[in-house]
Amino acid sequence: MEEKNNARPAGAVADLIPSFQVDHERIVPGIYESRLDDIGGDHATTFDIRMKAPNKEPAIHPNAMHTIEHVIATFIRNDAEWRDRIVYWGPMGCLTGSYLIVKGHPRPQELLPLMLRAFRHLRDYTGAVPGATPLNCGNYLLHDLPTAKWEAARYVEILETNPCFDYPLAKRITVDGATFFDS
């Protein structure tokens, strides 16, 4: 069945993979390309930095996820190799991972060294959470560094031993006539 994706005017961001979505019942932790956008002739690629199998194991605690956001965003935006290509880093609302948007269209495998560097950094992190102050953060008490470090250690182990890069796909659903997106 052909799905329409003509709501956006020509020249605006175009969804290049509108007909399929991820089958969340078969996701395992890994690094996945979830979206490719054409922005004025250049590409922006969204990666799912998936740390948990959705609905099969406990999700990440909101406090720990907030700490992951602060520490990993700070790290990758200062990484000498990737800092000029980082568009966005932020948590998934389902608390099973984070979104990473980069300029261009690298393969998920190319992000593996950066993610290993970043999550090893968090695993071994000591000191105060960067930006966890009323001046820099909208909810500065909502942090949990020990749990964030535990989650980072677990994810590093997965990336070191059995990283997965290919998402299981399912037909994209519609809700009341609108195409469903989760990001």
Interacting residue ranges for Zn ion, rule: CB under 5 A: 137
Please say which residue, 28 or 137, places its beta carbon nearer to Zn ion.
137
CB of 68 to Zn ion, least distance (A): 11
Please say which residue, 35 or 149, places its beta carbon nearer to Zn ion.
149
CB of 120 to Zn ion, least distance (A): 22
Q: Report whether 105 contacts 45 (CB < 8 A).
A: yes
Residues 6+ apart with CB under 8 A from 48: 22, 31, 32, 33, 34, 92, 97, 99, 167
Please say which residue, 14 or 137, places its beta carbon nearer to Zn ion.
137
Distances (CA, A) of 126 to 53, 66, 146, 148: 28, 16, 10, 12
CB of 109 to Zn ion, least distance (A): 30
Q: Which residue is nearest to Zn ion (CB)?
A: 137
Please say which residue, 89 or 167, places its beta carbon nearer to Zn ion.
89
CB of 137 to Zn ion, least distance (A): 3
Amino acid making up residue 4: K
Query: How far apart, in whole angstroms, are the C-alpha atoms of residue 32 and residue 13?
Result: 20
- What is the residue whose two structure tokens read 């495998």? 109
Please say which residue, 137 or 158, places its beta carbon nearer to Zn ion.
137
What H or E segment, with its residue span, contains residue 171? Answer: strand 169-171
CB of 73 to Zn ion, least distance (A): 9
